[in-house]
Structure 1
Amino acid sequence: METVAEYGYSYLLLPPHLLLRDLAADLVTVQQITGRIAGERLPWYRVTGGLAALMAKTLCNLQQPRLARDWWITAQHAADASRDLDLGLWIRGEQLVHGLYEGRPTAILRRKADRAVGTGPDVAYRGLLHVRTVRAQLLALDGAGDEAAAELRECEEIFRQLPASVTGEVRSVAGWAEDRLRYTEAWVHAHTGDRDRLDAAVERAREVLPGDDPRVRVQLDLLRAAGHVRAGDTTEGVRHAHAVYEAQPDEHRTVMVTSLARQVADAVPPQSRHEPLVAGYRELLASGSSERRAIT
């Protein structure tokens, strides 16, 4: 599992197109080893599940959801074969997250989240918390603010029960540190219009995050910008989003970053969409999408 653990760190720092090559090579190696083993395979199923999930996530970041689909299936099958309940829930949570940012129907994603929670264990698992935070985001996106707030409270309780080895790991995608909880909180408040709580959640998340994080800090800034636009501060929200997205290197303009950038534009009220500031921001988003298509 050392290779999987190492990728948990590099996933957050490396551009997706660089990560893809190494993941592909290691997955081939692991599949060859697994095919030759005559004895106990459970540890290798765990390795396959972790690597396949990271491959799926990387392909999603490169705007290749169709290719990612097969790797999500491989990851889930391997996790189920390994009998690692936490890994299986974590993979389901990751797939739900990417479905959320890819704009898949929230009704379908909520059913999947409900099913995962309903059939999951009663004990506090990182994977269970992951699924429930996505469910809180989906509820907020659907306008169910009270339900989203209740789900957030449940997430806080699960988080308090997790071991420090999980909640203290902020530099790996395999950890579940406080920044992820505050990110969920920021998402909920950005969609329910509570600007003060949104700002507080973003600031706390930024305090926890490493200073060299190349993407999540930008995502938080875009979440805050979208929340401010929804709260009526269109000018400052769009101006902030424009500055943040323009400064983001193209190799780190992943699907999640670009999806949040578009949420800012979508939040602008109809009567303001032809203002020069907003039009300029939309042009920036359009040019960024063209560059991504050229690269991928």
Structure 2
Amino acid sequence: MVSHPLPQVIGDLSVDILTLQEIMPKQRATGWARVNAEMMMFLAYALGSAGHTRQSHHWWSSARRVAAAAGDDMVALVASFEAILGLYEPRPLPLILARVDSALKASRGMPCHATTKALGARAHALALMGDRQGSFEALDEQARVYKLLPGSITDDEVSVWGWPVQRLLHTRSLVYTLADHPAAGQAQQDSIAAYAPGRSRHAARQSAQVHLHVATSAVRSGDVSEGLAYARRTLELLGTDDVTSFVLHAASTVVAVVPQNELRAHLPAVIEYREKLALPRGS
């Protein structure tokens, strides 16, 4: 997982890709293509996480092209990563679902990192589209696939190739929050409890997003003042350097769900919160 500031990660990856391009043989074997596709994917992901969407889209295109020469498993991985990031940029939901379909077609639905990630992206996208039933079905399928993953993936809480239970619980918290599911509160608490104290920077960012889910539910239920205050405290504890596009998206959702009949009464707090996030009004 990303444990260094994103500008540093982006700079390091850019240098590494340039070096790789220089040393790769002209007749590129599959192994070279895999390494190249992985590095391009990680650079695209880091750029998108830092809010550099135009550059990110360029590198996603390159990663997809190189992945095609590296095998179906790499095609699935690139498509699933792009689908997840695209939800936070945000990109058109039909495009997200197309990337999900590409990932699942390439993985053939086999239990792997890409399949699990793609199903999470499908659940998230369908929730945003208002398809609650489809969203919950995707969550259930993700849980089924998760149970079939090898321990080398589910026990890995450190590397980008792992899919520990924290990710599963985080996705359920997110989707239930967006869909205003009756069990959203329990899903949020289950997800928060899964992040151990003394966690990595990545885990801290993930945990902060779930706390923002809590704030979103509070605001939606009409407890606007406390919900906004909870979100502000969460962001302050996290620190500016760790407010990625993922965190910012979760934070913007908090203010987006302010009930219309509560907006006038809480307008000063809403404006202050939006200014803190540098969000345009009405976003």
TM over 0.5: yes
Assess, with a 3 A threshold, how the Cα gap between structure 1 residues 96 and 122 changes in structure 2: closer, same or farther.
Answer: closer
Q: Which of 65, 68, 90 is the equivalent residue of 1:77?
A: 65
Is residue 229–residue 268 contact of structure 1 (8 Å, CA) maintained in 2? yes
Q: Which of 156, 159, 165 is the equivalent residue of 1:178?
A: 165
Q: Which of 179, 187, 191 is the equivalent residue of 1:201?
A: 187
Q: Which has the higher contact order (CA 8 A, sep 6+)?
A: 1
Pairwise mapping of residues 116-195 of structure 1 onto structure 2 (< 5 A)?
Answer: 116-118=103-105, 120-195=107-182
Distance 2:253 2:165 in 1: 24
Code of the residue aligned with 1:155 in structure 2: it is: Q
Is residue 75–residue 103 contact of structure 2 (8 Å, CA) maintained in 1? no
Q: What's the counterpart of residue 67 of structure 1? A: 55
Moved more, 159-168 or 73-82: 73-82
Q: What's the counterpart of residue 5 of structure 1? A: none
Q: What's the counterpart of residue 269 of structure 2? A: 280
Q: Does 1:237 align with 2:227?
A: yes
Is residue 49–residue 79 contact of structure 1 (8 Å, CA) maintained in 2? yes
In structure 1, runs of 5+ residues without a counterpart are 1-8, 291-296
Code of the residue aligned with 1:43 in structure 2: it is: G
In structure 2, runs of 5+ residues without a counterpart are none
Q: Deviations over 1:125-157 (max 9, x none)?
A: 210111111000111111111111111111111
Q: What's the counterpart of residue 3 of structure 1? A: none
Is residue 77–residue 113 contact of structure 2 (8 Å, CA) maintained in 1? yes
Is residue 86–residue 125 contact of structure 1 (8 Å, CA) maintained in 2? no
**Quick check: which one's helix share is greater?**
1
Q: Does 1:114 align with 2:104?
A: no
Code of the residue aligned with 1:24 in structure 2: it is: S
Is residue 187–residue 223 contact of structure 1 (8 Å, CA) maintained in 2? yes
Question: How far did residue 282 of structure 1 move?
Answer: 3.7
Is residue 166–residue 176 contact of structure 1 (8 Å, CA) maintained in 2? yes
Is residue 179–residue 204 contact of structure 1 (8 Å, CA) maintained in 2? no
Distance 1:263 1:244 in 2: 14
Q: What's the counterpart of residue 294 of structure 1? A: none
Q: Deviations over 1:249-285 (max 9, x none)?
A: 2121111111111100000011222334x63354244
The 4+ residue runs of structure 1 with deviation greater than 6 A are none
Assess, with a 3 A threshold, how the Cα gap between structure 1 residues 126 and 232 changes in structure 2: closer, same or farther.
Answer: same
Q: What's the counterpart of residue 22 of structure 2? A: 32
Distance 2:169 2:141 in 1: 14
Percent sequence identity is: 24
Code of the residue aligned with 1:280 in structure 2: it is: A
Is residue 113–residue 132 contact of structure 1 (8 Å, CA) maintained in 2? yes
Distance 1:165 1:145 in 2: 32
Q: Does 1:259 align with 2:256?
A: no
Moved more, 106-115 or 122-131: 106-115
Is residue 143–residue 191 contact of structure 1 (8 Å, CA) maintained in 2? no
Question: How far did residue 206 of structure 1 move?
Answer: 3.0
Moved more, 44-53 or 232-241: 232-241
Distance 1:207 1:30 in 2: 41
Question: How far did residue 248 of structure 1 move?
Answer: 2.8
Root mean square deviation of aligned Cα: 2.1
